[in-house]
Structure formats: C-alpha cells, structure tokens
Amino acid sequence: MEPGFLALAFGLLFIGGCSARVVTVSPGPLIRVEGQPVSIRCDVNDYGGPSEQDFDWEMSRDGNEPRSRIISTFESSFSDPSFSRRVASGDISVVRLQDNEAELKIGEVKLTDSGFYLCRTPSTDPTTSGNYDAQVQLRVIPNTLKVTPQTPPPVVQEGHDLTLSCSATRELTFPSLTYLSIAWLVKTSGGSEEILTFGPQGDVVTGPRFTRRYLDGDLRLVPGRNGAFELVISRVTASDEGTYACTGAEWTSESGGKWTKIVESSKEMGAVSVTPTNRSLNVKASSSPSSQSSTSLLLSPGNTLTLLCHVSADNLDVLSLEVTWLADDGEIITVNRSGVVNANSVSKRGEASLEKTGDSDYRLAVRGVSSRDGGVYTCRVQAFIEEGRVTGGGAGRWHMVAEKTSNPVTVKVSEIKPNFTLTLEAATKPQKTGEPIELSCDVTNISQLPPGGRLGVSWEYISLPDKVTNASPPKLIGSLDANGNLESNSAYKDRLDSGVLVLSRVQPNTFKLRFLRTQKIDMGQYVCTVSAWSVSSQGKMVNAAEYKSSPLTVLWDTKSPTVKVAAKTIRSVSVGGATFEMTCSAITENIGDWIGFAVQIQSQSGTEAIKPIMSLSPDNVVQVTDPSRRDSLVLAKTGAMEFNFRLEGVQPSDKGNYWCDVTAFTKQQPDQSWTTAATGNSNRITINFQENGPSFSVETRYDTSSVYPWETAKMECSVRVSGSSPKSGGTNSQTEELAYEVRWFFTRLRGEQSTSPVVSVDRFGVVTKSNRNSSSDVSIERKDANTYVLYIFGTQDSDSGEYHCMVTPWYKSTSSGLWTQDKDYTSGKVFLSVKIAVWDSLKLPLLYGASASLGVGVFSLLLGLICARCCCRNTAHTPRSRTKLMDLEMD
C-alpha cells in the first residue's frame, strides 16, 4: 500500500509543478459613455507562490506607444503623474475581489480615457511559464442620449383609453455598436412598477401585472418617427392611477452576445388619476318620470304596477349595464348585458315584465297585483367594462366595476283580514290516570282567506291553581305551522318523540291533540290557537290572522300507580362457599295492562356504600356489575311478577344485607317505548356466617440490598400460617388445600405512595409480567409451599427502589369443602440499590482514545518524512522579494 501512496503523492506534485500562469481580463472592446462608471476585471490562475497575488494596471492610447502606469495593489506610488491626482481623489481605484482577482474602477470615465488597458501580475512562480499580463480596449463615446416625454391628461374616466407619448434619441457616434431602448413605468404608493420596455433588439418586455393586458390587446405600442413612441392603455381602471415616467437607455453588444446598458435617462411624465365609475354612477327609482324622490304607492287588487329605473354616469358610453328589480330584497326580474330578460320563477308575485325605454331608462310592469305584490321595491344596477377585447375581433372578459341600488319605493296593496270561528271540545275523557285523552279543535265560518292560504294550530296547557298561588302562565305543548311542520316545547318533546303525545290535522279545518296515556300533571285547562297564513311578497308564508279558543278544563279521579315488593329467603348460608338464593315478588296497583319490570339486586355491608350486584331490564337483558363473578350470579324472571336471585360460592366478602329494587314500566302498544310508572324496594335479607380458618402473615427478605449493573437481584416473599389447618387443624398439613395469589410491587422513591406492579402469579401457577420501563427481565419462582422468590436479571439503575409483595390466600373450607378466598396481606418494603461502576464504564473509552491518538501521531510523522524526501524544488531561480518587485524582463 505504501508504494502506491508514494506514487500518487509524487504525481500530484509533478502536475502542480508543470502548471503555467494564466492572466485574463474582461473581453473587449468595451464601449462606455462619458461620465459613466467603468469596471474592468482581471484574474490570474495556475500560479505558484503565495495565494494572494498583486496586480499592476497600465494604459496606452493606441496599444503601441509607451504605457502609462495607472494603479497597483502593492505599490502606493505606482501611478504616473497623469493619473496620480485621479487615484488620490478616488475616481480611479482598484478593488481586490479575491486573492487571485481584482477590479479596476473608474468613477466617471472621460473621452481621453479611451485606449488599451493592460493588467500585469508580478511573478511569484518557482519557474517562469505562462502569460503574466493581458489587455483590453476601452472606447469612450460622448453622452448624447435625450428623452422627451409628453404630459398625459391628469384625469381619465374609468374605461377610457390613456395614451403615453415619449421619444428617445442619440447621436450616431458608433452606429453599429450602440442601440436604444425605451420603457414606461408607473409609480404608486406600493413602489415603482415597469409597464413595457421596447428594445434594444426590437423585442417587447412587459411587467408582471401588464403581461395579460398586453396579450389581450389592452396594452399597445405605437411607433412613430424620430424615436417617438406611444403606449396606449385601453379601458383603464382604478389600479392604473399613479405617476408615469419614461426611461431611455443606450446599449452595446459585447463579446458572447451579452447586452450591456452603458447609459440611461429617465424623465417623469406626470400624475394621472382615474375617476371610478362608482363615483359618478347614479340610480333612481320612481313610480313616474316626474317623481324625484322615494314614494309610497297604494294599489288595489288587480291593478298594474309600473315603476321606472333611471341610470346616469359620466362614462356611460363604455359601460354595459345589468338591471335587476327587487322586492323586499328578493329578485323579481333581470335584464342582462345582452338585453336578455330573466324572470325569477320562484317568486310568488304577479306576472312581471321589464323593458328598456331609452339609453338609460328601464321600466318594470307587474299586472294583476294582489296582496303578495306589496313590499319595498328597489332597482339594482351592475356596471361592467369589457377587458381583453382584440381590436377588430373577438370578445373579451367582462369586469364589474360598480354596483348601485336605487332609492326604495314602497308599494301597498289593500287586503281584507281572514275571519273564522273556533270550537274546542273533548272527544275522549279519561276516568283515571293512564287512560287516553283526545281534544278536537274545529274551524268553521271561514271567510276572506286569500288564495293559497292555509291554517295552522298551536296547543297550550294551563295548570290548575293551588291553594297558595294563582294559575301559572300558559305552557306551549306544540304547534303545526302552515306547511305542517311540528314544533314542540322542551317539556313535551320526549313524549312527542315517543308517540305518547300526538298533534294531528285530521281534516283541513279540524285539529286534534291526543295523549295515549295521561299523567296526573296533565290535568288542567287546554287552549287551541288557529292562525291563517297567506303568501307574502317574497313567496314566504306569513301569519295573516290568529284566533284563540276558550279554555277547556280536563279533570279525572287521581289514583297514583304503586308497586310493592317482598323478598323471601329460599336458601340461607351458614358457611363460606355455599349457595344463597332468594325471591322477590311484586304487587302493583293503578297500572295499565302492558306492564314490564326492571329489577336490580343491591347489597350493603355495615356502613359501607350501597353496591349494585346485577340487574334485569323490562326486556329481560341481564347486566352484572362485577364480570369476574358472572358465572356465580343468576337473576331470572320465574313468574309474571316474581324474580329469583342466586349467589353461588359465597365468600366472606359477600356478607351483608341484600334486597330488590323493582321499577314498573307501562306502554300503550307493544311496539312503543316503556314509560316509568312506579318504583318499590323490598325488605332486606342478611348473609352472615362464621368461618374458622387459618391466619396469615407476610414478610419480605433478600440476600443483599445492593448489586452492580447487569447482576441478578433476588428477593423472597414468605407466608406464615397460624391457627387451624384447612383440613386437620395442624399447621403442616397444607399442601393440597392451600394456595396463594402473589403480586410484587415496586416504588421508585422511599416513602412514595404510588406503586407499580412488577410480576404476579395466580393460585394456579400462571405468571403475568407487567410492562416496565427497563431493559432488565423479571421472573417469580415458588421455592416451597409458603415461599415465592422474585428474580431481577440484568439489573439497571432504573431498578433501584422499594419492593414489597401482596399475598391473597385461598383455602378449602372445613365445613363445606369449597375453596374460600381470604383478604389481601401486604409485606413490609425492602430497598434495592444498583451501584454504578465508574472505572468499568470509563476504561474502554479511554483505551480507545489513547490508541487512536497514537495511531494519528505515527501516521503524521510518516507523511512528513515522505514529503521531505520526495518533494524537490528548482533553486536556479530565486523569486523576487515582496519588499521590492521588479519587471518581468529583468527576471
């Protein structure tokens, strides 16, 4: 590998030694205008020596005569007297752009500055090779550019054309080398924006906002004579306001086809404001040509309504109008820009027509008016201007520039209020609570109901006054509007949705209110209110008249529904593990035929909170509160009003009082929803028994309280049994009649209350691990009959903390032979500490770092030795000192 590396290094050094210096300047000839700034760049490449190079600038008039020294980046006294004053004033300067690039700058070039400019770089190479200078020709021409604009009109109406005239000329010093361009700009509050530029190659460039208008023909360039041009902006808008300027520029084409601007002149043409159409647009509505203001017009049914709309504007000749007549803000009829009339088919008004009677007059006529044609009439005018219309050709886009609405004209049509008579009576009266009631509201002697009119009804309830207070205000039950839509009060909404309460129209003039099942609160007075509805001028239904019936009192004999419940023991419990069974019987009074029951079994031990056990719905759906006891609980309906509850495998935790909560439900029809009728509670039955079983205690032990990371920690949970044996009374005969559920818990900090589960094993030996935020693993092992061991493999720092175990004993009852669950026993807490091995964690990184440092040092020594042996320099030529540079000829 080392010979290959040496060959590569030698090849790179050889290539670097064979490179030749290259000096380049800006391509020429350069044509510039007198008084304008000039910049000439010079750069050097492929050189030896220091990275920062120096540059000398010289100049000759024709390229042959002796050169005059202009300026140098190294010697401050380099300039000849003819240039020293301009260098001192800063008119001539040199700017270093990079280590190998500099730029000669002339602030205001003169005609006498024409000539050949030479850029020279003093040698810093070990050997002489390449070129050390380069020159370019500069031609300076006089500034003869003239821009002459014409002042535009100060005010232009929106939609009219704006013409901007401007000329740009110059003397033809070099006819084939310089070219002209002319541009128009507009200055607004948002800044200056280019409209259009013509030249220097005869091409047209538009600003971003004006490109579309130029393509659509709304922006045209009209050339004239002697450098004069006209820019025509067609159909101006408010966005065309601003101060316009004209800019002329002289250009030259340099090497490579690059166009360079050598002089520019800009002249302000003047400010132009655009009068918007909305300012001059005026719309007037009247009932006759002689009316000058808003009027109120009274008509009789069957007459013809005639209204006039007059439009005026300063730029009416360029506008296209769309005229719409409205009544109460609803459109009646419209004539669009093309003169096509469109009537609103949804409107319920009479037959309407609209015609144009003059250049700016529009007439509305409505024949055979009725009450629905009354309202406030206005004339709305929308003014449009066409954009993008190609001259002599196709249509463009229409743009709305203004919208105005006329003064209102109030139109009234005389009408007669409808009249009718109401009769409210009870078609069906209840005899007791729960029976149906039906009220009928009949409308008779109807007169003056307009065509298309309809009737609506609303029902109200007034409760009976008590001995202390007067009658309460009426309460809305529900209503049917003219379209048959039902609206209800929130107090009756549930009964309406369930179908217990029904509002209906059985005939066009008859309305009914029906309670399928009455309640005590339904006794009181009822009132029906019938309203007559007619079609408004907007085509909507409006209330034209309203009549209210006399109150109708509805009473019956009130007997509240009741339900009584009695609980009876079927099988009592004397020992743990036995079966408890009881029945609950219900007796109802004043409840209908369709009856259903919901039963809930509840229990309470001492002063503890009441605990629901299970429930049965009227549809015989059973729900259990504790899913783990689902297989030992039974609740079933054994008769029409009798229910059986059974609890198998009674535990000591089941001790307490048990009773039934029974709720009776009714419904009028089988497919309807259940309605609550009454609720009752049974007597309480007690479960209590004595169980002489063993007693237990739990403790936690460990071999060591601290371990190192990745070691295995071991902790024991030991159960001590005292008292009578589950089988024979001794303390050693427990192998097959005693089992435990063991759970280990972890606390991060000493004394912290919250704990996290670690691992558990049930009485059947099934192990369950909890999710832990640690990379270590845990397991639990039964060491003997009463000892369980917790192992933590690969301990980490996150395993430090307090540990304790919780044990739930299970034993066979001596009296019944059934398994019995005892209470939970909790051990004391032990603290496990995981130490941090500092040296073991740092020795490998330190060893790797030292080895890497030693390897890099050895490699650097070898590389330096190779470069010193293999890299040779040519000492025949000594580079010129930086303190005093000499000419290349002397070198």
The tens digit of pLDDT for each residue in 840-889 reads 667 777 888 888 888 888 988 888 888 887 765 444 444 444 444 444 44
Sign of CA dihedral 783, 787, 788, 791: negative
pLDDT digits (tens, 9 = 90+) for 56-108: 888 888 877 788 888 888 888 888 888 888 888 888 899 998 988 999 999 88
Which has the higher per-residue pLDDT, 857 or 815?
857
Domains of the chain from N-terminus onward: 21-141 (2.60.40.10), 146-275 (2.60.40.10), 278-413 (2.60.40.10), 419-554 (2.60.40.10), 562-687 (2.60.40.10), 695-723+737-834 (2.60.40.10)
Count Cα neighbours of 683 within 13 Å in the Cβ-side half-sphere. 9
Q: What are phi and psi of 793, to 5 degrees?
A: -95, 140
pLDDT attached to residue 226: 72
pLDDT attached to residue 673: 76
pLDDT digits (tens, 9 = 90+) for 446-479: 887 777 788 999 999 988 876 665 667 888 899 9
- Of 25, 30, 37, 41, nearest to 95 by C-alpha is 41
Structural element, H or E, at residue 581: strand 580-589
CB neighbour list of residue 11: distance below 8 Å, 6 or more residues apart: none
Mean pLDDT of the chain: 82
Residue 402 above 80 pLDDT? yes
pLDDT digits (tens, 9 = 90+) for 614-626: 999 998 899 998 8
pLDDT attached to residue 787: 92
pLDDT attached to residue 438: 93
pLDDT digits (tens, 9 = 90+) for 498-525: 888 899 998 888 999 999 888 888 889 9
CA pair distance 304, 351, nearest whole angstrom: 10
CA pair distance 224, 231, nearest whole angstrom: 11
Contact 778, 790 (CB under 8 A): yes
Q: What are phi and psi of 215, to 5 degrees?
A: -65, -30
Model confidence at 396, pLDDT cuts 50, 70, 90, reads: low
pLDDT attached to residue 646: 94
CA pair distance 21, 13, nearest whole angstrom: 16
pLDDT attached to residue 293: 58
Model confidence at 709, pLDDT cuts 50, 70, 90, reads: confident
CA pair distance 430, 864, nearest whole angstrom: 119
| Cα angle 445, 449, 455; round to 5 | 80
pTM above 0.85, yes or no: no
Model confidence at 692, pLDDT cuts 50, 70, 90, reads: low
pLDDT digits (tens, 9 = 90+) for 189-247: 888 889 899 888 888 898 888 888 888 888 888 887 777 888 898 888 888 889 999 99
- Three-state SS at 13: helix
